[in-house]
C-alpha cells in the first residue's frame, strides 16, 4: 500500500477525532499520534491500533508532526493553538473540524506563527453519540466537506487538505468564504438541530410516544440527542445568522398553519408541491 | 406452509395497497384480489404475482371476499363503501389505512350494513414515493400500527386484524379511541410533515443546498417529498388537533430562539438536555 509520507497528530479523541484516526490509519501515514486529556481514550486508541502513540500533553508529538488535526470544541481550539504556539513543527499544516468559522478564524489567525498554515475545514458528518467508542471510519463516507480558505493559506496546502479528505471518504469538497459558510450552516445544520430539539420538547401527549411514531418522527428527532455543550457554543457563536434562519422558518410555519386554519386547499397543495420539487432536486 | 383460510380483496394498488398485497401473499391466502382504476397497476400486480386477479370494478371480488383492505385516500373510502354497500360478502371484515379517524369513522359507520364489521386501522408506515412500483413487503417491518375500535366492532375481528398485521411485520399494535388517535397523530406524524415542508421552503441560500448538508438536513427533509393531495386531506381533516400542535411547537421554537438571542447558555443547555433525555428514552 502507498504510504502517506507524513506524521499526523490528532488533537482530541472524541467521535470525530477517533473517526479521523481510523480513516487516516488506512492511508498508512508514517506515524499517527493523538493527544487527549482522557487517559482511557488514549489507551483504547492505542489498543485498537488506530494511533501509534497517544499523549496527555501535545508538545512531543507536535514537534514532529507535518499535519495537525484539531478535533476540539470551538472555544478550545484557540486556547490550544495559543498554548502550543511554540510546539508546532516548522511549516506545519493545521486543520480543524469546527462548525462555525468567521469570528473563530479571525481569532485563531491573529495568534498564528507565520510559518504555520491553518487550513480551516468543516466535515459535515457526525453522529448523535459522542466519544471514541462511537467513532468509525464510515462517518465520513459520502459526506460533504467545506473548506473556508483565508488569505494566509498556501494554494498547495488547500489542495492537500482537499485531496486528503477525499481519500478518507468525503464526496463533495466545497470552498467558500467563512462568512458564507456561517450563513449556510445556520440553515443546513443549526436550524435542523433547533427544530429537532423543539419538536421533542413539544411532546405533550402523555403516552409512550415511541409506540405511535412512524419513520418521520424518528428521523426528525434523531439529532435531538444532542451534545448540549457543543451546540450551545455553536448556536451562540453564530447567533445572527441562526436567528435570521429561525425567523424565516417561523414565517413558513405560519404560512402553512394559516392555510390549514382557513382550509385553503389549493394554497396548501402549492406549498407542499414547492417543497417537494425542491427536495427531489436535491438528492 | 400454513394457509390463510380467507379470500382477500385490496382496494387501491398504490404504495400501501401494493405493499399489503406483497406482504399478505406470503401468508398464502386462498385468493387475493385487487381493485384499481389504473389498468397498468392491475397488470403489473398480476405479472409480478402479488395478486391472483385484478379488477377495474369491485363487485365481483367483493362478493367472495372475507377481508377487504381499503387503501384509498380518506375522502374516497366513504364513497367506495357507499357505492359498494350491496357488494360486500355477508359478515365481511373491512379495514382501512386512513391517517385520520374521528370524523371519518362517524361518516363511514353511518352507512355500513349491520353484518359488516369495519375495523379501523392505521399502519404507521410509508415511503416518500407513491405508486405500486415503490411497494415492498418490508414497508411494514418493525413499524407501529394503531387500531381505533368502535362500539360496532366484534372482539374477535379486532383480534383478527391485530394478529394479521403482526404476521406481516408490524411490531407494536396499539388500541386507542379515534379521538386520541387524531390528537397523537397530529403530533407524531402531521407536525413532522408540516415542519419538513416548511424547512425546505425556508431555503434562501441561493446555492446548491445538497453540497452543504449533513445527515441532519437530509433526514429532516426526506418527507418533504410529499403527496400533496393526500396530505392536504389529512391536514384539513384534523385541523384543530394539528393547529394546536403547531402552536405548541411554535412556542418551543420561540423559547430556544430567545435563549440564543439573549445568549442564555444555561437555559439553552437545559432546553437541549431535556430534549436529549426524552429522545433517548424513546428508542
The predicted pLDDT at position A27 comes to 95
CB contact under 8 A, B202 and A213: no
Of B196, B213, B253, the CB nearest to A198: B253
- Alpha-carbon distances, residue B143 vs A46, A210, B181, B255 (angstroms): 41, 10, 16, 33
Contacts 24+ apart (CB under 8 A), B107-113: B107/B78, B108/B77, B108/B78, B108/B81, B109/B150, B109/B152, B111/B78, B111/B81, B111/B82, B111/B85, B112/B81, B112/B85, B112/B152, B113/B85, B113/B88
pLDDT at B149 over 90: yes
Which residues in chain A have their CB less than 8 angstroms from residue B249's CB? Answer: 198-199, 202, 253
Using an 8 Å Cβ cutoff, are A72 and A12 in contact? Answer: yes
- The pLDDT value given to residue A1: 52
Instruction: Compute the average pLDDT of residues B44-54.
Output: 96
Domain-ending residue, one of A175, A197, A222: A175
Nearest by CB to B211, which of A172, A248, A255? A172
Q: What is the ipTM of this complex?
A: 0.93
**Contact between B263 and A239 using a beta-carbon 8 Å cutoff:** yes
Q: Are residues A28 and A122 in the same domain?
A: yes
In angstroms, what separates the C-alpha of B148 from chain A's closest C-alpha? 13
Task: Look at residue A283 in the predicted model and tell me its pLDDT.
Answer: 67
**Nearest Cα to B99, choosing from B40, B32, B163, B145?**
B145
Residue A28 sits in the same domain as residue A167: yes
Under the phi-then-psi rule, with left for phi > 0, alpha for psi from -120 to 50, and beta for the rest, what region is A28?
Answer: left
Where among B176, B208, B227 does a domain terminate?
Answer: B176
Distance from CA of A118 to the nearest CA of B (A): 21
Q: Which residue, among A276, A281, A283, would best test binding to B if mutated, counting the most B CBs under 10 Å from its CB? A: A276
Nearest-CA distance B98 → chain A (Å): 14
CB contacts < 8 A (A, B): 287
- Mean pLDDT along residues A243-250: 98
For Cα atoms B78, B82, B88, give the angle at the middle one, nearest 5 degrees: 110
Report yes or no: A99 and A125 within 8 Å, Cβ to Cβ: no
- Between CA B1 and CA B42 the distance in angstroms is 26
Q: Are residues B83 and B210 in the same domain?
A: no
User: Does residue B200 share a domain with residue B71?
Assistant: no
Among A144, A175, A206, which residue terminates a domain? A175
Which residue of B195, B197, B243 is in closest CB contact with A271?
B197
CA distance A230 to A238: 13
Which residue is it, cell 402553512?
A: A256
Where does the pLDDT of residue B57 fall: very low under 50, low under 70, confident under 90, or very high at 90 and above? very high
CATH assignment of the domain containing B191: 1.10.3660.10
Q: Are residues A168 and A196 in the same domain?
A: no
| Interface test with chain A among B172, B194, B199, B258, by most A beta carbons within 10 Å | B199
Looking at the fold, whether A260 and A206 belong to one and the same domain comes out as yes
Neighbours of A85 (CB within 10 A): 12
B66-92 pLDDT, tens digit each: 999 999 999 899 999 999 999 999 999
> Distance between CA atoms of B33 and A129, rounded to whole angstroms?
47
**What per-residue confidence (pLDDT) applies to A139?**
93
Q: Which of A146, A249, A272 sits opposite B199 (nearest CB)?
A: A249
DSSP 3-state of B157: helix
| Sheet arrangement for strand B144-147 | B121-124, B144-147, B172-175
Tell me how far CA of residue B136 lies from CA of A232, B16, B17, B132, in angstroms: 42, 9, 10, 9
pLDDT recorded at residue A178: 97
Q: How confident is the model at residue B2 (pLDDT cuts 50, 70, 90)?
A: low
pLDDT of A3-14, one tens digit each? 889 999 999 999
* Cross-chain Cβ contact B198/A248 below 8 Å: no
CA-based nearest residue to B218, from A163, A162, A59, A282: A282
Give the separation between CA A114 and CA A152, rounded to whole angstroms: 9
Q: Look at residue A127 in the predicted model and tell me its pLDDT.
A: 82
Do A24 and A151 share a domain, yes or no? yes
Cβ contact B156:B136 at 8 Å:
no
pLDDT tens for B103-135 read 999 999 999 999 999 999 999 988 878 889 889
pLDDT at B140 over 80: yes
Residues B22 and B44 in one domain: yes
Cell of B96: 382501512
Same domain, residue pair A192 and A272: yes
Cβ-based contacts of A186 with chain B (< 8 Å): none
**Whether pLDDT at B218 is above 90:** yes
**CB distance A70 to A97 below 8 Å:** yes
Q: What percent of chain A has pLDDT over 70?
A: 99
Q: What are the start-end ranges of the H helices in chain B?
A: 15-25, 39-47, 59-63, 74-83, 102-109, 155-167, 178-185, 191-201, 215-221, 228-237, 239-261, 265-282
C-beta separation of B58 from B34 below 8 A: no
Same domain, A128 and A261: no
User: What pLDDT band is residue B151 in, cutting at 50, 70 and 90?
Assistant: very high
Among the partner residues B146, B195, B229, nearest to A212 by beta-carbon distance: B146
Q: Do A189 and B216 touch (CB under 8 A)?
A: yes
> Which cell numbers hold the place of B37?
382504476
Structural domain count of chain B: 2
Return the pLDDT at A275.
98
Q: Lowest-pLDDT range, A83-97, A121-135, A198-212, B44-58?
A: A121-135
The answer, yes or no, to whether residue B1 has pLDDT greater than 60, is: no
Percent of chain B with pLDDT over 70: 99
Distance of residue A86 Cα from the nearest chain B Cα, in angstroms: 33
Above 80 in pLDDT, residue B260?
yes
CB contact under 8 A, A268 and B144: no
- Is the domain of B144 the same as that of B243? no
- Parent domain of B189: 180-282
- 3-state SS class at A17: helix
Q: What would the mean pLDDT of A151-162 be, rounded to a whole number?
A: 97
Average pLDDT on B193-212 reads 96
Which CATH number is B96's domain given? Answer: 3.40.50.720
**pLDDT at position B34 over 80:** yes
**Residues B73 and B130 reside in one and the same domain:** yes
Q: Which of A97, A120, A102 is nearest to A175 (CA)?
A: A120
Amino acid at each position: 500500500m502507498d504510504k502517506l509520507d507524513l506524521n499526523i497528530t490528532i488533537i482530541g479523541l472524541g467521535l470525530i477525532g477517533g473517526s479521523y484516526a481510523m480513516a487516516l490509519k488506512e492511508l498508512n501515514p508514517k506515524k499517527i499520534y493523538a493527544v487527549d486529556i482522557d487517559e482511557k481514550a488514549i489507551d483504547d486508541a492505542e489498543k485498537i491500533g488506530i494511533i501509534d502513540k497517544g499523549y496527555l500533553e501535545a508538545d512531543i508529538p507536535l514537534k514532529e508532526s507535518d499535519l495537525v488535526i484539531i478535533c476540539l470544541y470551538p472555544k478550545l481550539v484557540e486556547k490550544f493553538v495559543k498554548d502550543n504556539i511554540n510546539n508546532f513543527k516548522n511549516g506545519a499544516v493545521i486543520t480543524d473540524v469546527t462548525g462555525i468559522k468567521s469570528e473563530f478564524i479571525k481569532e485563531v489567525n491573529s495568534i498564528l506563527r507565520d510559518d504555520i498554515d491553518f487550513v480551516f475545514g468543516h466535515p459535515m458528518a457526525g453522529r448523535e453519540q459522542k466519544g471514541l467508542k462511537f467513532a468509525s471510519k464510515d462517518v465520513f463516507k459520502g459526506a460533504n466537506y467545506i473548506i473556508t480558505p483565508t488569505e494566509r493559506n498556501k494554494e498547495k496546502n488547500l489542495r492537500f487538505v482537499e485531496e486528503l479528505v477525499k481519500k478518507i471518504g468525503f464526496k463533495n469538497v466545497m470552498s467558500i468564504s467563512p462568512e458564507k459558510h456561517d450563513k449556510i450552516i445556520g440553515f443546513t445544520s443549526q436550524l435542523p438541530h433547533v427544530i429537532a430539539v423543539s419538536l421533542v420538547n413539544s411532546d405533550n401527549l402523555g403516552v409512550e410516544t415511541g409506540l405511535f411514531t412512524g419513520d418521520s418522527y424518528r428521523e426528525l428527532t434523531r439529532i435531538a440527542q444532542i451534545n448540549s455543550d457543543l451546540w450551545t457554543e455553536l448556536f451562540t457563536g453564530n447567533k445572527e445568522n441562526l436567528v435570521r434562519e429561525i425567523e424565516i422558518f417561523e414565517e413558513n410555519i405560519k404560512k402553512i398553519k394559516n392555510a390549514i386554519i382557513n382550509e385553503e386547499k389549493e394554497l396548501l397543495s402549492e406549498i407542499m408541491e414547492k417543497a417537494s420539487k425542491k427536495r427531489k432536486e436535491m438528492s
